[in-house]
Amino acid sequence: MTEGERHGNPVLGFWQRIKHALRARRRRAKDKSSKHSLEVDRMRMRYMSNGNEGFAEQGDLFSEQKQEHAWNLTDKEFVPHPHGQPWRVGVFIDVQNLYLCVRSVFGNQAKINYRALKEFLSQNGAVVRMTAFTCYDPENHSQLEFIHALSLMGYRVVAKPVKRLPDGSIKANMDMEMAIEIMSQAPFLDEVILVTGDGDFTPLVDQLARMGKLTKVIGPDKLTSPELIRACDAFINLTQIAGILDY
């Protein structure tokens, strides 16, 4: 009998019984946790005694002999897999970032095969919309032909002419246009794929995650922002896509 019941207060007695029960449960949980910790320590000691104390230093986890993309998803794991019909995917390509990064890593002769990129992401029956963002010089006919070629391949192209500043420099940036387009389309998409290595898009990816969107990134080898990789749900290097580079 609790103190409250002895004084003729059944309500007080009821809450005191609840309090005693909670205290007993906490004691049991603490004892169980202590036993678990002891068991973990025993397992660790057995493992170390078997000659494995230097496994991290030996490089078993991050061996230099592992393949370059050993820790990445495979291309088959990365491509959209429809979870319902229709599964709507928006792909947004930062053309300028890819152009500069690919030339920096693979040389000035390297070019991206945008047809291979489209075929790679258009598998498994998903409804895929490809949007490319680029600046162009109105006097450069090869750049205009490139934009026309993307359009004929099935890309939606968002482009604007470069700005020539009074000091002679050129301003060519599509980050704002790309961000606005992504946020405008996001409510109607199930999956968002960014093709860029630019870390400036990290806050955008974080916001897409808060909206419940599955967000992936395809980034240039060696030049993709670590913050961008950590923010997205899945990442692969550009060269994991078969036939992506032309020389």
Query: For every one of its 247 residues, what pLDDT tens digit does the chain have, with 9 covering 90 and above?
Result: 545 445 555 545 655 666 666 566 656 555 544 554 455 455 445 544 454 444 333 333 333 434 455 567 787 788 887 776 788 999 999 999 999 999 998 988 899 999 999 999 998 888 999 999 999 999 899 999 999 999 999 999 999 998 887 887 777 789 999 999 999 999 999 999 999 999 999 999 999 999 999 999 999 988 999 999 999 999 999 999 999 998 7
Buried (b) or exposed (e) across 23-46, using 16+ Cβ within 10 A? eeeeeeeeeeeeeeeeeeeeeeee
And the tokens for 225?
């922002």
Q: What is the pLDDT of residue 76?
A: 79
The rounded distance, in Å, linking the Cα atoms of 59 and 28 is: 41
Residue 103, number of CB atoms within 10 A of its CB: 14
Q: Which two tokens stand for residue 86?
A: 């229709």
Q: Are 84 and 214 in contact (CB under 8 A)?
A: no
CA-to-CA distance for 88 and 84, rounded, in angstroms? 9
Q: What per-residue confidence (pLDDT) applies to 44?
A: 47
What's the CATH architecture for 75-246?
3-Layer(aba) Sandwich (3.40)
Look at residue 53 in the predicted model and tell me its pLDDT: 44
Give the per-residue pLDDT at 33: 46
